Structure 1
Amino acid sequence: MSKEFQSCGASVIVYKDNKILLQQRRDNGCWGYPGGHTELGEKVEDTAKRELFEETGLKVLSMKLFDVFSGPELRRVYPDGNIVHIIDVVYISTEFEGKLKLQESEVLDLKWFDINDIPDNISPPVKPGLNKFIKQIQGGL
């Protein structure tokens, strides 16, 4: 029997020199920015930092809150039939350190993309945040 639930997560848009770091997800083959579910009692800021490090090997030196995304666009049906309504707290970091090292259990590839040349196959729950970020960069906001 499938379940329907809500989940809070945190993500980081890593941006530098007009490029954004995206990861290709193992579960759906789509591209997106690093992030994941907040653990019980965990601060969302700590989730964002932890997920970025786990998935990319990069350590945040500073980040700022970008926006919070929720609603029908972030509804996801998992292969087991479970349905999750995601609340994603998204941060931006332009200051980070470390060498790229992907988390093989969740990530197929890590790649820097020019902000004007983003791949078409973006993971659906990431699209609202990524589209807003790109519009702000391109519009100079």
Structure 2
Amino acid sequence: MADYIHELRGLVGHRPLILTTAAGALLDSQNRLLLQERTDTGDWSFPGGYMEFGESFQETCQREYLEDAGVAVECERLIALFDHDFYTYPNGDQTQLITALYLVHQVGGELLTTATSETQQVKYFPLDQLPPFFNDQSKKMAQKVIEMVAANEAD
């Protein structure tokens, strides 16, 4: 996918692009949230990423989760769709990110224990002790997860 985005950027430069992404919220038995420390900024985000041509949001979430966190997941349900978030990367690339956030559960794999080209580390965080996020969309996604957990605990 990076080649596809680089090809687009070669054509449009730093002009704004609308990009579709998918991410997953994986909670452990203590309702701690798994997050990825990004290698590009050092900030934290949900494991996830850009959709490849021909993929569904769920397929993107599953592929990206395995790449970013080492964990095979299944998507249980859509938590929310985020479609009004903008981000400018340090190199000036502007994007409007349309992201589907899923509640996921682990079906295989193991958490990454070494850094990759995109992930410094993965770690579970209590919902009241979340780290600095990559962008505003990640903050909004975390808030939706907090609200979901609170609603489930109230039932």
Q: TM-score, normalised by structure 2?
A: 0.81
Matched, 1:135 2:147: yes
Which residue does 1:75 correspond to in 2?
86
- 2:66 maps to a residue whose letter is F
Q: Percent same amino acid among aligned pairs? A: 28
Return 5+ residue gaps in structure 1 as ranges.
none
After superposition, give the CA deviation of every residue in 1:38-60 in whole Å (9 maximum; x if it has no partner): 01111111000000001111111
CA distance in 2, matches of 1:87, 1:32: 15
Which residue does 1:118 correspond to in 2?
130
- 1:3 maps to a residue whose letter is R
Which residue does 1:100 correspond to in 2?
111
Q: TM-score, normalised by structure 1?
A: 0.89
CA distance in 2, matches of 1:43, 1:136: 24
Q: Runs in 1 of length 4+ with deviation above 6 angstroms?
A: none
Which residue does 1:32 correspond to in 2?
45
**CA RMSD, Structure 1 to Structure 2 (Å):** 1.7
1:42 to 55, 67, 70: 55
Length, aligned pairs only: 138
**Cα separation, partners in 2 of 1:55 and 1:4, compared to 1, 3 Å:** same
Which protein has the bigger helix share? Answer: 2
Return 5+ residue gaps in structure 2 as ranges.
1-12
Which residue does 1:8 correspond to in 2?
20
Q: The residue matched to 1:67 in structure 2 has which SS?
A: strand
Alpha-carbon contact 2:115-2:121 (below 8 Å) kept: no
